[in-house]
Structure 1
Amino acid sequence: MFEGNDDLPYYGTVFKLVAGDHAFAPILSKGKEQLLAFRQILSKREQADNNIAYFIDKDFDGFKGYPEGDDVYCTDGYSIENQMVGPEVLCELLRSEYKCEASNDGECVDAIVQHYEAMLTEFVDVMRPVNKVIYYARKNKVYLSSIENRIRKYLKVEGDTVISAGNDIFELVGWPPTVDFSNVDFEDPSFLELDPKASWRGKFLYGFFVEMLTLYKTDRTSDQPTHFTNKVGMKFDPRGESVRLFAVCAPVPDSLKHFILSLKTKAANS
């Protein structure tokens, strides 16, 4: 059972990579709260169905007070999106979709990855206040009506610099108008312990990754590329439905491998 439809492309791909032809029937929820509440209801039955497994994002609030268990996979980082935006994925895309191997541009790959890592550092600086507010809200049970995930609402990529878009972050994250934030201390030592790349909001990271891939595509197909040696045409659309491709390129977390293989073993013994 998954939190929603957005999870299917990633987990469906990983299931095939890890468990081969082991079939699973997806059940979709309408968010983590509903999924965990449903699991709680089923746990009260006299005979639990051992073939039902649950997949949730860790987010900033983990299990939201519900009990953990070996029937639930919780991401190591914030969400599945955090797994798909690393240098390993960028390397694979540059070699294949950006045709670096085919056009003898292989030497450009390392330099572009270093450029992406440098830009990611600037992304972290710009997005720190936003993640800090969301973190505070989740930890203090402040209900956010709707978090805006479109990364361009938060930042702009101009040349080799990432700058704030200048919009009100409290409006963007859906901060309730009835809760005064003017005197709130958003500084939290536990927030500082988080790894931004792994444990900050994944949809922001994913959106930034797509922005950078788009920038690299524009450069790759220009008459005078900056990051590449040669101009090369390419069909890959970073803004398209790319989750399955990213999932194939991304390393599968060991925790997820073990969980999926345990499901396969359970099914074989049932």
Structure 2
Amino acid sequence: MRLDVHVVLAALSGAAAGQGSCFVPNGTERHLLNNGVNDTYRPCSPLSEGHGMCCNTQPGDRCWDDGLCWNPRMRFLWRESCTDQTWESPRCLKLCINDEARELSLSKLGRMTSLMGVLTDSPPPGTGGYPSSQMDVRITECPDGSLCCGKPDEAIACCTAGTGKRIADGQVVDASASASSPAPSAGGGSGSSVDMRVVGGSVAGAVDAGVLALGVAFHWYRRRKRRAEAAARNKSTAGEMRQGEAAGAAPTELPPDSLPPAELPPDAYPRAEAPSGQR
């Protein structure tokens, strides 16, 4: 029995529609791509709120407020699909959708890029060899908080060159343009490392802890200094006493009133005369 291709596609489309329509940047329904039929892409926000990003809930991806998807088990960050097939909605996160690897030209990165092996005709990072516009893309957060396409080893050149992006108010902007502006909340309660409020709280806590530590250290230093000075004084006094003994210093004379009375010799007393009439 031969299956009608149109029937199969219709069935797949129906299944995809039942799961929620989510599209990759080139407009293809995500469930129809690769092994998408085994995944479950769902909108991160109610359809009544308009378009928004989708995340694959089958492996446990979680939606972040900034539109990215986070897999806590694998600790992977993704840019996935959007409910707007045209991707013109401002709520479609336009991050890593234009094959950014090809934009890292040798003229821009110079010798460093050539040494790292990043070529202008290399496949886009984080997509398993697919164009960025046709697939979910792994995202790497650089040490400075900016975002680059691909796995950590694929994002080295981007992070080193400072060509990453940031998400501000749901929009993708150059990292340099948003350096003075805090990034939006990306956690949605999920513990996002990109959530500047969490980072700010951590920094404030670290500052408070640092001030407290400095205060304790200063107090300890003062106590130690006082003890050292007291020990030095005691040592100096003991040394002076030992020096005096070695030099044969005369013993200290006691005051007269502190000496016991001395007895006179017998011949020092006057001789008593017998009274008259007695022998």
TM over 0.5: no
Q: What TM-score do the two structures reach when normalised by structure 1?
A: 0.22
Bigger relative contact order, structure 1 or 2 (CA pairs below 8 A, ≥6 apart): 1
Report the structure, 1 or 2, having the larger helix content: 1
The structure with the largest alpha-carbon Rg is: 2
> Which structure features the higher share of strand residues?
2
Q: When the two structures are superposed, what TM-score results if normalisation uses the length of structure 2?
A: 0.22
